[in-house]
Structure 1
Amino acid sequence: MSSTYSSKSKPYTVNECSICLSALKQGAPILTLSCDHKYHFQCLMSSIRAHHKQCPLCRATIDESIVQLLAASRNDASYHSSRSTSDDLLGSNVESSSGLPTISVTPRLEYKGQSSERPSNIYGLVTLQANSTGHYSPSSLSSRVPIDLICVVDQSASMSGAKMILLKETLTYITEQLTDRDRLAIVSFDNHAYDRSHGLKQMTEKNKHRLHRVIKHDLEDGFSTNIKRGLEMAIDLFRNRQGENPISALFLLTDGQDDEIQDYSQTMRQVPANVVCHTFGYGPDHAAALLVKIAESGNDGTFTYIDKYDAIGPAFAIALAGLLTCVAQNIRVEIEFNHEYQITHAHSIYKHEPERLPSSRIAFKLNDLNADEKRNLIFQLSVPSLRGQTSIQDHVIGHVSVQYVEPNTNRTLRTTPAPFHLIRRSPMSAEYLRVDHTLDVQRNRIETALVLRQAMEEHNYNLSKALLRAQVDRIKASASAQDPFCRQLIRDLEHPYSTENDYRSTHHNIYMQHATERGTYSSASSSSAHVYSNPNHLSQIQNYQRQNE
């Protein structure tokens, strides 16, 4: 059926993007605006970057949060572009049960070649790219993996008024997004913890109705704050549940900190290995450092700094989008080089074995990967001298493969080994000694993340800021200094903050996003982190906004 809009060259139909007039094919990232008109993700992003903030068809104003995310999303060659022909030759992929490639793997080295007459130390990179699910709609993806989710929420006195109203709206929204294959529990806390749902409940229509009443009538602002009590109750629910869904997660939101000093080490050791903890800090009084540690020790979770009360909903929506699009779990990235080549350093927050380097082999362990996500693993490699040996024009010096579990089928899959190529000869021409641009961008990303962690652990405010200034100088001196993403990193590191709390909370959030390469809600002063937003996040935000208009 044709819409009322028409083009002189070609009539528009509901199955076409009215910006490029091409078909809205299944598998391509698609966004649906609040007016229900659909566009290719890239087309709408280009339109907004050209300062068009209205629907091209009906001229309805596009929601400002969508405008900001699309305007900040990256699509340049160094981060989100399609792989080049040479990348396709280097990479490997494996098909999922749906027949689509689940993960593609691309290895890179800092240089195309190195002298064969002398040893050196260079950087290496392995990029994992998860496939796209296309346009995301929870109701339409009946085959998605079911989840167990526990929301642990602050109901202390400081959450009264508008914050509690918004929190209730958000919990109601989460309830509605789940199906009868999912299970949800709600735990609230002040100075005590309360199991509001009486355990994990399947999200049947009957149980949804019951939870709506609980959310509306039982969540009321209470007294002081004891985050640990809420966490302990949620962890007990996970450990004592009867059976479990393939995806398990804990959402923790608080606007304060414990009234008494608590030791969380024993508590977090009790978190089951398959439960990922995502933490959300709202307002000026939350303990950002604590929430980061809870997320990190909660199986590579995320921390989100919510700088304004109406961002609570979008923040939860983004985290929920990740859970509903998980494509791989228990990921093991296995890198092996010829014996004389040794990995000397691993630059990542992810655990690896062996822990002690150097070694010719290394295996990184990642908890999960969601649709449209990337992971870039950086390491350093000792390159030996080949003096006395015949120069080799194109030498395969190692391979990388990825083993993971596909959550839909619980099958263990492995990618085809992808080779690392390095030309060895002497003399070496300049073209082979140019720094790989993509690798240099990723080196700046992970170095910035590690410096941010160091700066946030530095209690002296002036010394903390000095660490960030030094990192700015290093980025400016790098080969990829003019890359748009690197320029965004510099702007974020140089951003002036009105208070030390804003400085630390925002940078804790930026650190977590750059370290994990997983998108969460970001404030306006952390534009570099918007690179991790994807169509699934935007679709969930739109769904939330439509249901709460």
Structure 2
Amino acid sequence: QNIPESTTCHTYGFGSDHKVSVLSQIAEIGSGTFTYIDELKSVGDSFSHTLGSLFSCIAQNIEVKIELKDDYTIANVHSTFAHSTVPNSTVTIKIHDLNEDEKRNLVFEIHVPAVDGKDEQECCQISTASVKYIDPSSQQMFSSESTAITLVRSKAITDLKLLEVNYDLDVQRNRVDAAKGMKVAVVFAQQRDMNQAKAVLQAIIKKITASISSQDNLCKSLVEDLNKSIEKFEHDEQQFTCYMTNMSMQHHSERGTYTTPHFTSSDGYTTQSNRVQRSNFVYFSDQP
């Protein structure tokens, strides 16, 4: 059965002997999160983290619309968010909700058509982008004005900075590639091919390390977490699958959930509301 569009569904896997693929798929369809709970004392942290998100929603049913001109098209959208069919000149990306202190970085590829020399322009507008969303407190719909997207098209570029790889974009490409790589590695782990799963993660580590944004905090923590995953769970397919699925969904959605303190790459997604709710939880152990 389909999950109603207005419903958010979060799933939790307690212990390593659960159906990770089923729970994560339900969460994806329900625009929610999947959390792997590795030990009893982490149950409260896991649920309070989710409550922090529920109590701080600032926008719902967000739609980002990108409209390209002439023969320009969006060739690919590197996101798990629902979006229009690509390639297309007009693409709408749907984001279920956004919480306070959160942000979403959308990475997509644009097909740039060839031009004759006579058609070259120093700077031309190729697209517009706009956003609309519902304010959860008033249930009113808000729409932004269209923002122009421009592109420099000239054989003689005097500003060499225009030829440099954009640092912020490079960070986001590394995030997306890491999330995709984790998901692919999980497939191999479920097939009990840990050598191939390890090779996938090592390729991602190599790519991030060689990138211009390799010293960014997110990129460094991604490399650290991927290396730890290889070291800790090289011979444990189920644990590897649980942790990798959890982290992959965190980085795809840019939304934090509980994760073991051993891994830190998703810490940047934790909001103030998450921290407040977690601080309100006290774990009472029955151990003396």
CA offset digits 1:206-229 (Å, max 9, x no partner): xxxxxxxxxxxxxxxxxxxxxxxx
Q: Which residue of 2 aligns with 1:83?
A: none
Q: The residue matched to 1:419 in structure 2 has which SS? A: strand
Distance 2:136 2:41 in 1: 33
Q: What is the one-letter code of the residue matched to 2:51?
A: L
Distance 2:147 2:263 in 1: 35
CA offset digits 1:52-86 (Å, max 9, x no partner): xxxxxxxxxxxxxxxxxxxxxxxxxxxxxxxxxxx
Give 1:343 deviation, angstroms.
1.0
Pair 1:445-2:175 in alignment: yes
| Aligned residue among 7, 10, 15 for 1:283 | 15
Structure 1 residues 54-453: aligned runs within 5 Å = 266=1, 269=2, 271-298=3-30, 300-353=31-84, 355=85, 357-389=86-118, 391-429=120-158, 430-453=160-183
TM-score, length basis structure 2: 0.91
Q: Which residue of 1 aligns with 2:226?
A: 493
Q: What is the one-letter code of the residue matched to 2:108?
A: F
Q: The residue matched to 2:105 in structure 1 has which SS? A: strand
Distance 2:284 2:39 in 1: 17
Asked if structure 2 preserves the Cα contact closer than 8 Å seen for 1:506 and 1:526, the reply is no
Pair 1:516-2:253 in alignment: yes
Distance 2:162 2:113 in 1: 17
Distance 1:531 1:383 in 2: 34
Pair 1:502-2:232 in alignment: no
Q: The residue matched to 2:169 in structure 1 has which SS? A: helix
Q: Which residue of 1 aligns with 2:280?
A: 543
CA offset digits 1:79-138 (Å, max 9, x no partner): xxxxxxxxxxxxxxxxxxxxxxxxxxxxxxxxxxxxxxxxxxxxxxxxxxxxxxxxxxxx
Give 1:385 deviation, angstroms.
2.9
Distance 1:538 1:389 in 2: 57
Distance 2:147 2:281 in 1: 41
Q: What is the one-letter code of the residue matched to 1:442?
A: Q
Higher relative contact order by CA 8 Å / sep ≥ 6: 1 or 2?
2
Give 1:452 deviation, angstroms.
1.1
Distance 1:363 1:503 in 2: 34
Give 1:391 deviation, angstroms.
4.1
Distance 2:28 2:14 in 1: 18
Asked if structure 2 preserves the Cα contact closer than 8 Å seen for 1:283 and 1:308, the reply is yes
Q: What is the one-letter code of the residue matched to 1:468?
A: L
Distance 1:440 1:446 in 2: 10
Distance 1:344 1:426 in 2: 24
Distance 1:385 1:276 in 2: 44
Give 1:428 deviation, angstroms.
2.0
Q: What is the one-letter code of the residue matched to 2:281?
A: Y
Pair 1:483-2:220 in alignment: no
Q: What is the one-letter code of the residue matched to 1:286?
A: H
Q: Which residue of 2 aligns with 1:34?
A: none
Asked if structure 1 preserves the Cα contact closer than 8 Å seen for 2:186 and 2:240, the reply is no
Give 1:493 deviation, angstroms.
1.1
CA offset digits 1:402-438 (Å, max 9, x no partner): 1111111111111121221222222224221111111
Distance 1:397 1:390 in 2: 14
Distance 1:316 1:286 in 2: 18
Structure 1 unmatched runs, 5+: 1-265
Pair 1:461-2:190 in alignment: no
Q: The residue matched to 2:179 in structure 1 has which SS? A: helix
Computing the radius of gyration over CA atoms, which structure comes out larger, 1 or 2?
Answer: 1
Aligned length: 277
Asked if structure 1 preserves the Cα contact closer than 8 Å seen for 2:62 and 2:134, the reply is yes
Distance 2:118 2:33 in 1: 49
Q: What is the one-letter code of the residue matched to 1:392?
A: Q
TM-score, length basis structure 1: 0.49
Distance 2:261 2:281 in 1: 20
Q: What is the one-letter code of the residue matched to 2:69?
A: N
Distance 1:315 1:344 in 2: 37
Query: Aligned-pair RMSD on alpha carbons?
Result: 1.7
Asked if structure 1 preserves the Cα contact closer than 8 Å seen for 2:254 and 2:269, the reply is yes
| Aligned residue among 470, 477, 480 for 2:203 | 470
Percent identity, aligned pairs only, is 36
Structure (1/2) with the larger helix percentage: 2
Give 1:508 deviation, angstroms.
0.8
Q: What is the one-letter code of the residue matched to 2:107?
A: I
Asked if structure 1 preserves the Cα contact closer than 8 Å seen for 2:55 and 2:273, the reply is no
Q: What is the one-letter code of the residue matched to 1:541?
A: R
